[in-house]
Each structure stands twice: as structure tokens, then as C-alpha cells.
Amino acid sequence: MDRLLGAADGALRTLFAPPRGARPCPVIPADETVLTPEERRESASLMRVNHVGEICAQALYTAQAAATRDPVLRTHFERAAREETDHLAWTRARLDQLGARPSLLNPLWYAGAFALGVVAGRFGDRVSLGFVVETERQVETHLESHLERLPAADHASRAVVAQMKADEAAHAAQALAQGAAELPALAKGLMRAAAKVMTTTAHVV
């Protein structure tokens, strides 16, 4: 019951409460962001996708923390979720600065990611950790593509995305150190396909 209540509280906080990061938002000192209307729209769309990714990260880690019976691993997942809260706060703040809204489908994205986290947890801790590794690797690749697509003048968004990319790589390394199992190629392919649907939809909705 405590885990269920904790999961419900996490969902409500992620979806409806203003996120509060523990770390200050990354910046590039002395580089001012000045964008054309077209650049602002493109940055807003990309940062909305990144914000959705952080909604999903909260759901995944919350579900995996609830699914494991290992208290040490549960603490690991809960700590990772807190670290991802920084990303959630940074991307939401950047959306506000750009005058853009988050995805209208955030409750759906959260529910789907939470379900995936529960399923991964049911296969055991090593598989659950392997799911983290593959997720973070795919997110890292996705963020690299955003660094290529973001307007060169959008120093604010680029600073956020660069720090997120470094953090995701660290989370993957931590999961590997915990004994993550390598996922089969089919599972990796299905994860990429699901991510493609999410990113394509969130770019506009």
C-alpha cells in the first residue's frame, strides 16, 4: 500500500506540480540567446519533446522502484528519479521562456512509461536495470540529435540539453555497475519504435 501511495503521489507531482530542481539550470556565461520566430518555434518543439522524455523518466523510475524487492536497488531508482527532476524542471522552465506549452498528452505518456517500468521490473532486477541502460543510451542518442537540430543561437536550450546528455550517460553507467543484463535485439527495437512514436507526436501535440 505504501508503494502504491508513493507511486500515485509521484504521478501527481510530476504531472501537476511545478517541478523544483536541486541544481541550477545550466547556462553558457556571456552567451545571450536571441532567436527569430522560426527558430523559437523549432526550439520550443524540441524542448517539448525533451520535457516529455523527462515525464517518462519519472514514470519509469517510480515504477521500477515500486517493482523491485531489493531495498538498495529501490534507493538507487528513487535517487535517479530525483536527479531526473532537475531535467524536468529545466525543460519546463525553458518551455516557459520560449512561450510554449508542454505536451497535451503528458498523462498518457506517463501512464505508458509507468506500465513499461512495471513490466521491466517483473522480469527481475537485472532486466530492469538493463531496461535503464538501453533507455538511457537511446535518450543520449536522441539528445545528441537535438544538439544538431537546435538553432545555433539558442545557447540556453543547448546548455540544458548538453547537461542532460551527460547525466543520462552517467545513469546508464551506474545501471551497468549494478549488474544490468543486456536486452535482446527485439526488445531494443520495440523500445526505439515506441520512442519514435512519442517524439514525433510530442513535437506537435
pLDDT digits (tens, 9 = 90+) for 59-73: 999 999 999 999 999
Query: Do the domain assignments include residue 28?
Result: no
Query: Do the domain assignments include residue 128?
Result: yes
Query: Do the domain assignments include residue 11?
Result: no
d(C-alpha 34, C-alpha 103), whole Å:
24
d(C-alpha 91, C-alpha 19), whole Å:
10
Exposure string of 43-71, with b = 16+ CB inside 10 Å and e = fewer, is bbebbbbbbbbbbbbbbbbbbbbbbbeee
CA end-to-end distance (rounded Å), the chain: 35
Checking 4-13 for CB contacts under 8 A at 24+ apart, the result is 4/66, 6/62, 6/66, 7/62, 7/63, 7/66, 7/114, 10/58, 10/62, 10/81, 11/59, 11/62, 11/110, 11/114
Quote the pLDDT of residue 159.
95
Write out pLDDT tens, residues 126-177. 999 999 999 999 999 999 999 999 999 999 999 999 999 999 999 999 999 9
Q: Is the pLDDT at 100 greater than 70, yes or no?
A: yes
Query: Do the domain assignments include residue 15?
Result: no
Total number of domains constituting the chain: 1
Confidence of residue 33 (pLDDT cuts 50, 70, 90): confident
Q: Which three cell numbers stand for residue 159?
A: 546548455
Query: Do the domain assignments include residue 10?
Result: no
Quote the pLDDT of residue 143.
96
In percent, the amount of the chain with pLDDT more than 70 equals: 94
Amino acid identity for residue 105 in this structure? L
Confidence of residue 53 (pLDDT cuts 50, 70, 90): very high
Cβ within 8 Å of residue 141, ≥6 positions away: none
Q: Is the pLDDT at 16 greater than 90, yes or no?
A: no
CATH of the domain at 97: 1.20.1260.10
Range of the domain at 70: 36-202
Query: Do the domain assignments include residue 141?
Result: yes
Query: Do the domain assignments include residue 30?
Result: no
* Full-model pTM: 0.91
Q: Which three cell numbers stand for residue 43?
A: 526550439
Query: Do the domain assignments include residue 14?
Result: no
Confidence of residue 20 (pLDDT cuts 50, 70, 90): confident
Burial class from Cβ neighbours inside 10 Å (0-12, 13-18, 19+) for residue 10 reads buried
